[in-house]
Structure 1
Amino acid sequence: MAEERSIGKQIIHEIGEWLYAIVIALVVAILVHIFVGQITRVSGESMENTFHNGDFLVVSKWDHIRGITPNYDDIVIIDSRVNRERTWKDDVTDVVSNYLSIFSKDAERHDAWVKRVIGLPGDKLEFKDGHVWRNGKELEEPYTKDPTMNYSQTAPVIVPEGHVFVMGDNRNHSSDSRFIGPVPIKNVIGNVVWHI
């Protein structure tokens, strides 16, 4: 009888140790995901031919955490909900939805977009004859899939302070700053550092 109790206590102790290890591993994974980086998957064709639907991207969160403005041509992940204040709570809920999306397509977020930085605060952007002009100079954009055929903007766009202007490389099939407006730097979730 005493031996059975001892075995029972040993099993309970073993289960407790496993649960403790699992909880610690989850906490570390969540902290890494929030503060360091994550792996995400491309959904859609807006960044072709640079990235394709289903490609995996390694995203660094370090600049987002420090509030650093990205550079021209950086490929970034943005929160497309530009008309709402993004807080640290969004970083936490991003982790939850990212893990849930592994198990269910219904949990996938549709507001996290991968785009290229075209304009920085204070830049004057113009769109003429299928090309982008920044501060009076036409951009050379060898990464774009096709010239922008279905967009024209008569008035120049001035990128406000604390914002960036982003576009997809597949300009004719991309929802981006042309439609949602400049993106607050707080909504730049991370920089793509590797493509798998």
Structure 2
Amino acid sequence: MKEIEGATKAKNEWWEWIKALAIAILLAFVIRSLLFAPFVVDGASMMPTLHDRERVIVTKLIYFVKEPSPGDIIVFHATADRDYIKRVIGVGGDIVEVRGDQLYINQEPVDEPYLHEYKQQAEQEGYFLTGDFGPIEIPEGELFVMGDNRLNSKDSRMIGTVSLKSVVGRADVIFWPLNQFRFPK
């Protein structure tokens, strides 16, 4: 009788472990597919804000609640097999233009504090960080994005506007390397 009770107890314990593991896998899948995802920065297009090989947490759920805003750093599907990370410059209905290294949205100058260091260096060396372009009117349902490293970024200046439907989420936390943990602005 004790042998049967012991076998039943061991069987129940295994069943509990299997259920706990299944729940953990299901929760991980839901969190990864609906809420958050890791992303590895590939290249220097977002320097000085983000550096090559840094790892960020992308919040996916945020854009179910609201649309991206200028200044947000987003991850989007650039091609079927490649995601990009860039900064939102303008949204549908905005008119984007750069003249003399100054960004204008709807003919209003925009301060880009994340570029101050690069702009000072470009000015000292006698070149513009961002070449003149525009005006470009952004269609509704689209975003105009650029990398912070304007001289080394494949962005809306080359690939065109980005559909809201292709946005994966917003980069909210840099978590690796650990000594560089921060929240990008």
Q: Determine if the alignment matches structure 1 residue 115 to structure 2 residue 113.
A: no
Structure 1 residue runs of 5 or longer lacking an equivalent are: 85-109
Give the match for residue 43 of structure 2: 44
Give the match for residue 109 of structure 2: 138
Calculate percent identity across the aligned residue pairs.
32
Q: Determine if the alignment matches structure 1 residue 164 to structure 2 residue 164.
A: no
Give the match for residue 73 of structure 2: 75
Find the aligned partners of 1:47 and 1:56 in 2 and give their Cα distance.
13
Give me the TM-score of the superposition, normalised by structure 2.
0.74
Find the aligned partners of 1:179 and 1:132 in 2 and give their Cα distance.
17
The 3-state SS of whatever aligns with 1:114 is: strand
Contact 1:44–1:52 (8 Å) recurs in 2: yes
Give me the TM-score of the superposition, normalised by structure 1.
0.71
After TM superposition, give the deviation of residue 25 of structure 1 in Å: 0.9
User: Which is worse superposed, 175-184 or 138-147?
Assistant: 138-147
After TM superposition, give the deviation of residue 139 of structure 1 in Å: 2.2
User: How many corresponding residue pairs?
Assistant: 166
The 3-state SS of whatever aligns with 1:143 is: helix
Bigger strand share: 2
Counterpart of 1:156, as a letter, is P
After TM superposition, give the deviation of residue 162 of structure 1 in Å: 0.9
Matches within 5 A, 1:89-104: none
After TM superposition, give the deviation of residue 173 of structure 1 in Å: 1.0
Counterpart of 1:113, as a letter, is Y
Contact 2:103–2:109 (8 Å) recurs in 1: yes
Deviations 1:73-124 (A, max 9, x none): 111111213xx8xxxxxxxxxxxxxxxxxxxxxxxxx622221111011111
Give the match for residue 153 of structure 2: 174
Deviations 1:124-182 (A, max 9, x none): 111223332211123221212356547443x4211110111111111111111111111
Contact 2:98–2:130 (8 Å) recurs in 1: no
After TM superposition, give the deviation of residue 62 of structure 1 in Å: 1.8
Q: Determine if the alignment matches structure 1 residue 127 to structure 2 residue 103.
A: no
After TM superposition, give the deviation of residue 184 of structure 1 in Å: 1.2
Find the aligned partners of 1:13 and 1:151 in 2 and give their Cα distance.
68
Find the aligned partners of 1:44 and 1:15 in 2 and give their Cα distance.
46
Give the match for residue 54 of structure 2: 55
Contact 1:79–1:112 (8 Å) recurs in 2: yes
Find the aligned partners of 1:78 and 1:50 in 2 and give their Cα distance.
17
Structure 2 residue runs of 5 or longer lacking an equivalent are: 123-127, 175-180
